Structure 1
Amino acid sequence: MPQISAKEGFAAMCLRLRAKGVSDADLLNAIEQTPRHLFTPPEFMGHAWSSRSIPIECGSFMEGVDLAAELIDALKLKNNHRVLEIGTGSGFTAAVMARMTERVLTIDRYKTLVQNATERMDKLAIRNVVIRQADGSSGLQGEGTFDRIFVTASFPSMPRIYAEQLVSGGVMIAPILGEGGTCRMVKLTKTGSRFERVDMFEVAYQPIIPQIALAL
């Protein structure tokens, strides 16, 4: 992709985001520093900076850049945060969050996606992202607590197993399946042992699939 096209795409995205009230300078800088075309399959390069979702390997997809930015903005990241991401996908959101935080641990059930995302982090010299192949449906043991948890596979109800890994004051956002097959992004803030839930907006995420993939 010619560099001028990437600049134009980024500028157009900024205008769309500002219209939605998203204007955090640290977030926009992190996105600008993360070459989205490196995460986009060649046949969809022309849509890299669009708001449409883009198919990637293993039947997965990467969010349109607008949605990715909105969700990261909702996390209100700080530079001392430890972040857990469930669903690495292309690795784009992990790369952006890594530029804004201390450490990102991201997991995916597909070995292919883990390998590809790892190669992209190496190419961009991003050293504070740990990528693992793991079962996202069963929690993550032995890693302590996190300041933020970002889930990109839908659960039938709020995944308490992950909510319990939040620090007090921590935030988790996750897509929750509702009646009629709708899926809504939900934000959960932990205060002591209580959780405050805020429903955000409808999204189109695939249901969580247990166990790691054996073939892909």
Structure 2
Amino acid sequence: MNTMLDDREGFAAFLLRLRALGTPPRDLVAAMEATPRKTFVPGAWQSVAWSDRMVPIECGETLEGADLQAAVIAALQLEPGHRVLEVGTGSGFTAAVMARLAARVVTVDRYKTLAEQAKQRFEALGITNAFARQADGSNGLPGEGPFDRIVVWAAFDNLPRAFVDQLSTNGIMIAPIGAAEDTQLLAKLTKIGSRFEREDIAKVRLQPVIKGVAAVI
């Protein structure tokens, strides 16, 4: 099997799924195509790299399907000057894509292994404006805002009000809200004054936000 051809076919199928939902932003499509997804997907799962299924990665975590990642990045409405905070680095793919669309991306994960691997992938791809590190992102990074955009790949029980002060005026945060054992609502939260204006954009099933950092891995 020609892996490059396989990859192109996978990306083409992904693009068809996106177009079935409407016209995807051209800059987003270009950024995703320019980011070699297989670099971020474990070997055993490379054949489904561009599918909409979640795949397991190190530290017992998962990589969201390409379709959900694209929908979330599109909803962030990234612009070239934006500063972005991502909570839940995973393999680093979404941070790498966002770094092609924004000025600066800070991505944090509770697992040192994931943060270090993402850092190595960014370096290998020559991405110099994405910064991965191990940190407890359950309340964001209070000392480092404001950010223009925040995305969290783990679910909150309630509206994450602690993040309001970390967003710039009219900033956007995307995060799942709902009980851990249930389907959650993926919320687009826009900062208006000192509060959030909420718009639910999808149903998801993601792990709950966990406080603290992993001690060993």
Could you list the runs of 5+ residues in structure 2 that have no partner in the other structure?
A: none
Partner of 2:182: 181
Instruction: Report matched runs for 1:1-216 at 5 Å.
Output: 2-178=3-179, 181-216=182-217
Measured in 1, the distance between the counterparts of 2:43 and 2:131 equals 25
Measured in 2, the distance between the counterparts of 1:180 and 1:92 equals 26
Measured in 1, the distance between the counterparts of 2:81 and 2:147 equals 11
**Alignment size in residue pairs:** 216
Contact 1:22 1:70 in 2 (8 A): no
Q: TM-score, normalised by structure 2?
A: 0.96
Contact 1:135 1:210 in 2 (8 A): yes
User: How far apart are residue 95 of structure 1 and its match?
Assistant: 0.3
Aligned letter for 2:185? R
Please say which of residues 96-105 and 186-195 is displaced more in the overlay: 186-195
Measured in 1, the distance between the counterparts of 2:198 and 2:130 equals 28
Partner SS for 2:202: strand
Partner SS for 1:120: helix
Aligned letter for 1:123? A
Aligned-CA RMSD value: 1.3
User: How far apart are residue 209 of structure 1 and its match?
Assistant: 1.0
Structure 1 runs of 4+ aligned residues shifted over 6 Å read none
Contact 2:164 2:195 in 1 (8 A): no
Contact 2:111 2:213 in 1 (8 A): yes
Aligned letter for 2:118? A
Q: TM-score, normalised by structure 1?
A: 0.96
Specify whether residues 179 and 118 from structure 1 end up closer, same or farther in structure 2 by C-alpha distance, changes over 3 A only. closer
User: How far apart are residue 60 of structure 1 and its match?
Assistant: 0.6
Measured in 2, the distance between the counterparts of 1:94 and 1:27 equals 13
Please say which of residues 137-146 and 12-21 is displaced more in the overlay: 137-146
Measured in 2, the distance between the counterparts of 1:127 and 1:154 equals 29
Please say which of residues 191-200 and 74-83 is displaced more in the overlay: 191-200
Aligned letter for 1:171? I
Aligned letter for 2:209? I
Specify whether residues 179 and 151 from structure 1 end up closer, same or farther in structure 2 by C-alpha distance, changes over 3 A only. closer
Measured in 1, the distance between the counterparts of 2:12 and 2:182 equals 35
Please say which of residues 79-88 and 175-184 is displaced more in the overlay: 175-184
Partner SS for 1:73: helix
User: How far apart are residue 22 of structure 1 and its match?
Assistant: 4.4
Please say which of residues 31-40 and 170-179 is displaced more in the overlay: 170-179
Contact 1:158 1:174 in 2 (8 A): no
